[in-house]
Chains A and B, each alone.
Chain A
Amino acid sequence: MDASEVGVLPDIYVRLSHDDEAGEGNIYTIRVADNGSGIPAPQIPLALCQFLFGSKYKLKQARGTFGLGGTMAILYGQVTTNKSVQIISSTGESRIYEYRLMIDIQGNRPIILDRKVHVNKQERGGHWHGTVIEFHLEGDYYKAMPKILDYVEQTAIANPYANIVFVDPKGRLYKFDRTTTNMPPPPKETLPHPHGVDVETIQRIIRITECKNMLDFLKDNFHRVGEQIARQFLKFAKIDQDKDPRRLNPDEVVELVQAMKNFNDFLPPDASCLSPLGEDLLRAGIQKELEPEFVATCQRKPSTYSGHPFIVETAIAYGGKIPSKGEIMLYRFANKIPLVYDESADVSWNVVKSINWRRYRVTPEMPVAAFVHLCSTKIPYKTVGKEIIADRPEISREILNGIREVARRLERHLSKQERVRREQKRLSIFSIYLPKIAEYSTKLSGKEKTPNIDVLLRRARTLEQERD
């Protein structure tokens, strides 16, 4: 998906099928195809069959953290089935490259079993670009099915500009069409913020930097650090500004990191490295999959925790396909990836549970769903499984305020609905009873013509409005 978002509307195709023809057993083939930017041919083996490929230290919001996900999946397939992975990719030029690879696990390097080059024929829209990966793995689809389907559906919510197709082992087609061609602006790459770096990052920068003194080292390699701030900091850290960064010994590197954390005068990071969905796209995603009667979305202002910028986006939806489960449904996303496991340990869950929903006219049996999307260059996951977000006060405060904001709008919607319902009921009560009063009063008085009560019926309406 990230590879697609550079100006191309994503088409994603995922197929899971049984390896044996009887359609049973626990060995599956998974095929994932996208129309993204493709992987340059020389990098294909390393990108997918070697861990920690690429040692870039610059930051921008991405769905993964270290680019481990793809390689991990392939590795998992290999250790469970001992079969190779097939990769077909093109960057949109005249050739398509096809590889069959395995991972040399001990050497952490790819083994190229086969390599083919195909002609990439020019078609209407130009040359095809994208990547297709197919490999085998062991698993139990039927056990995991509900979560997998949740995952795919929620991916469609968070990416309403993508076409997503999933074919399951029974041949069932799950198709999610895009409803918008707007895409969020892609994130810009930024330098790390001094509050957010660790020893490893500093050492990596030292290895590649060309700066000869600490002043330049700080100015050139860190986010929002200028000449003046760099000087102030070096004074604070008691480091000679002419010192060669490559001469820092390991203890000094640790001291530098400590000093960075303790120095309070760094400017806060800006959020240009983030790519939130935006209120409109989040709304579009929710409307597309859940068709609610009401939806409110909110994007909070950028904020930071420990030097990492983040943005919280929240939404609340009511009615439509949202089930009445006896509690509010919670949808969690981190950098546009749905989080489907262990929701009750997540910071958003705690925030949603801490809210007194009755204040917003929300009762447990109502079909209400809350959405929390956290964008950050570093999502503070609690576990390596990357399903649960830890409770950082800066983040939970933003989530709370975001949820409150949309809950207030839901409250306004519900009370307006209630008011309309009450007014209608009121009017209908008046229009039931007033004519009877008129009729029987007329008969009692012995008159022939009933009085005109239209004025009174109109007044009944305005009385109601005045009261609100």
Chain B
Amino acid sequence: MSKNEIKFSAKERRKQVLTKLGKLGHELYAQMENGRFPYIFMPSRSTDNIYYSPQFRQYILGEKRVRRSSGNIRHLRPFTQLVWSAYFAHELTGNQKTSTLRDVYYSAQAYDMSFKDQAESDNIITDVETVTGSSREDFNIFPEESSAIFGDLTIEYTIPNYEGRRLNLTSHPDGVMIGPALTSAELVETSADIVIAIEKGGLFTRFIEERVHEKFKALLIYLRGQAPRSTRYFIRRLNQEMSLPVYIFSDADPWGMHIAMVIISGSANAAHLRELTTPDARWSGVWASDIVGYKLPSDKLTNLDIKRLHELEKDPRYKDDIWQREIDVFMKIQKKCELEAFSRYGLTHIVDKYLPERLKEMES
């Protein structure tokens, strides 16, 4: 039984975000009071300012900064959108309401703020993240898609109307959605020793049916393909606050590898943010070498797969031995397979044979 020692304070985080947003408002206000067109300095997110940091084990933004000024007619509209978005985020956070990116796009219309499409409003939200250094989940803006968690973990809600209420995450056999309420909840206690994150929904359900959470003392997380940022953030919390090692299982192809990598080292798109990565999480399968070792049914790599492998080979995040080794094997056997491939040897084969072997191997 592991108990949460670093008390996570949702309140504290909220206060921080509100302070940052309020400070932005003060700066702009003062500029106008002094008869200046309000302006903002923020780190540039252009590709020539994105670097891989071995220290943080993720992509970060460099020194380059951009100045956005409302005195520049080309900046005026996005500048206004940025200020409005900051205001909107402040309102959400202050009132403890949540919203989605899609929702923001529509809400803007109520304030007579026009975004020509959601891509534009998404981009402005990213600007707010860059200016404040907080991820949008911190100011209560979440993506549409969400993944799920199952296992013996008790949480305590901090959102209005549920504040103080507790939930054990085994209470629903389909798992519990990792939404705004869960990500902002306090982690109270768990009997689990590890976290197993799985790319595919079929396998997640199978693991629950086969009681993997009990057999391996595990919290099970359904990633649903490329994991949403709130899920990546939540995995980080499990790892950091509950000190649980994280094992990731994805398809044996370059895309599956990358799903694991983004959880571990983050993406270039989120170079302006921290706390979305879990550097100690481990990609545990399915490896290219498993296709050979477990005699798994496989498909031929496509040209696109091979092109992607060549890209990953040069990616600084992939410099460690295991990644380079598996990329080599992929290239050599020219094959890939999905998680479900184990079903060839019976539905429970993956749980009975592969999982215990692999977890043992990872622990050693």
- Complex interface residues of chain A between 400 and 441 (CB less than 8 A to chain B): 426, 429-430, 433-434, 436-438, 440-441
Chain A residue numbers with a CB within 8 Å of B77 are 429, 433
Question: Of B20-28, B260-268, B341-349, which binds chain A?
Answer: B20-28
Chain A residue numbers with a CB within 8 Å of B71 are 456, 459-460, 463
Q: How far is the CB of A430 from chain B (nearest CB, A)?
A: 7
Give bound CA distance, A437 to B83, whole Å: 6
- Complex interface residues of chain B between 35 and 50 (CB less than 8 A to chain A): 35-38
Q: Is the CB of B73 within 8 A of A446?
A: no
Q: Is the CB of B113 within 8 A of A441?
A: no
Q: Mark B81-102, 1 if CB is under 8 A from A, else 0.
A: 0011011001000000000000
Q: Is the CB of B25 within 8 A of A456?
A: no
Q: Is the CB of B83 within 8 A of A436?
A: yes
Chain A residue numbers with a CB within 8 Å of B25 are 440-446
Chain A CB within 8 A of B80 CB = yes
Given A444-B24, A446-B25, A456-B35, A436 and B86 contact (CB-CB distance below 8 Å)? no
Indicate which residue in B29, B35, B36, B73 contacts A441 across the interface (CB closer than 8 Å): B29
Chain A CB within 8 A of B188 CB = no
Q: Is the CB of A447 within 8 A of B87?
A: no
Q: Is the CB of B76 within 8 A of A441?
A: no
Q: How far is the CB of B129 from chain A (nearest CB, A)?
A: 16
Give bound CA distance, A238 to B113, whole Å: 92
Chain B CB within 8 A of A144 CB = no
B29, B35, B37, B70: most-surrounded residue (chain A CB, <10 A):
B29
Chain B CB within 8 A of A453 CB = yes
Give bound CA distance, A434 to B38, whole Å: 9
Interface size counted on chain B using CB atoms at 8 A: 27
Chain A residue numbers with a CB within 8 Å of B32 are 437-438, 441, 451-453, 456
Q: Is the CB of B83 within 8 A of A446?
A: no
Q: Is the CB of B113 within 8 A of A436?
A: yes
Q: Is the interface of A mostly helix, strand, loop or mixed?
A: helix
Give bound CA distance, A453 to B36, whole Å: 9
Chain B residue numbers with a CB within 8 Å of A208 are none
Given A433-B70, A446-B25, A456-B32, A440 and B86 contact (CB-CB distance below 8 Å)? yes
Chain A CB within 8 A of B150 CB = no
Q: Is the CB of B26 within 8 A of A445?
A: yes
Q: How far is the CB of A438 from chain B (nearest CB, A)?
A: 6
Q: Is the CB of A429 within 8 A of B73?
A: yes
Chain B residue numbers with a CB within 8 Å of A442 are 25, 29
Chain A CB within 8 A of B320 CB = no
Q: Is the CB of B22 within 8 A of A446?
A: yes
Q: Is the CB of B80 within 8 A of A436?
A: yes
Chain A residue numbers with a CB within 8 Å of B37 are 456, 459
Q: Is the CB of B22 within 8 A of A444?
A: yes
Given A437-B38, A456-B37, A426 and B73 contact (CB-CB distance below 8 Å)? yes
Q: Is the CB of B79 within 8 A of A437?
A: yes
Chain A residue numbers with a CB within 8 Å of B83 are 436-437, 440-441, 444
Give bound CA distance, A122 to B248, whole Å: 118
Q: Is the CB of B73 within 8 A of A451?
A: no
Chain B residue numbers with a CB within 8 Å of A451 are 29, 32-33
Chain A residue numbers with a CB within 8 Å of B38 are 437, 441
Give bound CA distance, A430 to B21, whole Å: 24
Give bound CA distance, A445 to B28, whole Å: 9
With CB as the reference atom, state the residue of chain B lying closest to A464. B73
Chain A residue numbers with a CB within 8 Å of B28 are 437, 441, 444-445
With CB as the reference atom, state the residue of chain A lying closest to B91. A443
Q: Is the CB of A444 within 8 A of B21?
A: yes
Chain B CB within 8 A of A455 CB = yes
Chain B residue numbers with a CB within 8 Å of A463 are 71
Given A426-B73, A455-B35, A463-B71, A436 and B29 contact (CB-CB distance below 8 Å)? no
Give bound CA distance, A436 to B21, whole Å: 17
Q: How far is the CB of A162 from chain B (nearest CB, A)?
A: 52
Chain B residue numbers with a CB within 8 Å of A455 are 35
Chain B residue numbers with a CB within 8 Å of A460 are 71
Q: Is the CB of B35 within 8 A of A430?
A: no
Q: Is the CB of B24 within 8 A of A429?
A: no
Chain B residue numbers with a CB within 8 Å of A426 are 73
With CB as the reference atom, state the residue of chain A lying closest to B86. A444
Give bound CA distance, A329 to B79, whole Å: 46
Q: Is the CB of A443 within 8 A of B76?
A: no
Q: Is the CB of B87 within 8 A of A444?
A: yes
Q: Is the CB of B87 within 8 A of A434?
A: no
Chain A residue numbers with a CB within 8 Å of B76 are 429-430, 433-434
Give bound CA distance, A235 to B22, whole Å: 101
Q: Mark B164-180, 1 if CB is under 8 A from A, else 0.
A: 00000000000000000
Give bound CA distance, A34 to B199, whole Å: 98
Give bound CA distance, A75 to B116, whole Å: 74
Give bound CA distance, A403 to B211, whole Å: 91
Q: How far is the CB of B34 from chain A (nearest CB, A)?
A: 9
Instruction: Show 25 A/B contacts (Cβ-Cβ < 8 Å), sorted by A.
Output: A429-B73, A430-B73, A430-B76, A433-B70, A433-B77, A434-B70, A436-B80, A436-B113, A437-B70, A437-B79, A440-B84, A440-B87, A441-B25, A441-B28, A441-B32, A442-B25, A444-B26, A444-B87, A445-B22, A445-B26, A445-B29, A447-B29, A456-B35, A456-B37, A459-B71
Ranked nearest first, the 8 interchain pairs of A and B with the lowest CB-CB distance are A444-B25, A445-B25, A441-B28, A451-B32, A440-B87, A433-B80, A445-B26, A445-B29
Q: Which residues of B contact A (CB under 8 A)?
A: 21-22, 24-26, 28-29, 32-33, 35-38, 70-71, 73, 76-77, 79-80, 83-84, 86-87, 90, 112-113
Given A433-B80, A437-B38, 4 other A-B residues pairs in contact with their CB atoms under 8 A: A429-B73, A433-B79, A436-B83, A444-B21
